[in-house]
Amino acid sequence: MTDPAERTMRFLYGLRSAGVTDARVLTAMERIDRGAFVRGIFAERAYEDMPLPIACGQTISQPSVVGLMTQALQVNSRDKVLEIGTGSGYQAAILSQLARRVYTVDRHRRLVREASEVFQALSLANITALTADGSFGLPDQAPFDRIIVTAAAEDPPSPLLAQLRIGGIMVLPVGQSDTVQHLIKVTKTETGLDYEEMRPVRFVPLLEGLGQE
Ligand code: SAH
């Protein structure tokens, strides 16, 4: 299965079978080669629907989960999006195809550097990657139309809820890292927050402070 066209077809078929049906999301995921974000011995498994190890003991999420989270986020072409948990940069790259601008934050300097190199190589000029503790969001760039968190917290961090624009959507996994986590979709309205529970997932934990290199 080395033929790239066949590989892409199978990759997209897998996404559709998992419930990723939004044409814009599928097009974005067809355009962005996941293989560019996986290094070393796992690179050959980049087109399988599974999470894979990346540097700093972290993981690149499963493509179907990336697809479902992106779909739930309902990104518009004029949106400013914040991602917490850059990791490999794959999720940010997908978002860059759908949004006006993407800010992505990781607590590991090395991951931010390596992801930035890939963004540059792929000419994804609307992504800004920064090293920071993302639990506090990015107050300087707030408010955001959309926020996605790709590491699990027990509850949605309140600074992130505060930095979401009214009418904005945030998608994140919540729950303790060693038990079942759920993806949730939070919509901010004039009167408060609406919560919708999606599917069970497993993410690495959202940790405090910067990572030790
Ligand atoms: N979205 C990534 C996968 C992220 S894995 C991808 O597409 O590859 C989760 C990431 O969240 C890890 O890289 C981890 O370092 C980061 N992370 C955990 N806690 C964080 C925090 N408080 N602030 C910023 N990043 C954090």
Residue 135 Cβ < 6 Å to ligand 1: yes
Q: Contact, 167 vs 147, CB < 8 A?
A: no
Nearest CA to ligand 1 atom 16: 85
Q: Contact, 115 vs 54, CB < 8 A?
A: no
pLDDT higher than 60, residue 1:
no
pLDDT higher than 70, residue 88:
yes
**Measuring CA to CA, how many Å separate 160 from each of 29, 149, 181, 202, 207?**
26, 9, 19, 21, 15
How remote is the CA of residue 151 from the centroid of ligand 1, in Å? 5
Q: How confident is the model over 62-73, as pLDDT tens digits?
A: 999 999 999 999
Q: Work out the pLDDT band at 181, boundaries 50, 70, 90.
A: very high
Which atom of ligand 1 has the smallest separation from the CA of 60? 8
pLDDT higher than 80, residue 177:
no
CATH 3.30.300.30, applies to 4-201: no
Residue 206 Cβ < 6 Å to ligand 1: yes
Q: Work out the pLDDT band at 60, boundaries 50, 70, 90.
A: very high
Which atom of ligand 1 has the smallest separation from the CA of 37? 8
Which H or E run includes 29? helix 23-31
Q: How confident is the model over 145-175, as pLDDT tens digits?
A: 999 999 999 999 999 999 999 999 999 999 9
**What are phi and psi for residue 2, nearest 5 degrees?**
-100, -15
Predicted TM-score of the model (pTM):
0.97
pLDDT higher than 80, residue 2:
no
Which atom of ligand 1 has the smallest separation from the CA of 204? 9
Of the candidates 83, 59, 96, the one whose C-alpha atom is nearest the C-alpha of residue 148 is 83
Instruction: Give the end-to-end CA distance of the chain in Å, rounded to a whole number.
Output: 37
Instruction: Report how far residue 211's alpha carbon sits from residue 75's, in angstroms, rounded to the nearest whole number.
Output: 30
- pLDDT for 179 equals 77
- Residues assigned a catalytic role: 61
Ligand 1 pocket, mutate which of 102, 114, 118, 206 (most atoms under 8 A from CB): 206
Residue 133 Cβ < 6 Å to ligand 1: yes
**Residues 68-98 as b or e (16 or more Cβ within 10 Å = b):** bbbbbbbbeeebbbbbbbbbbbbbbbbbbbb
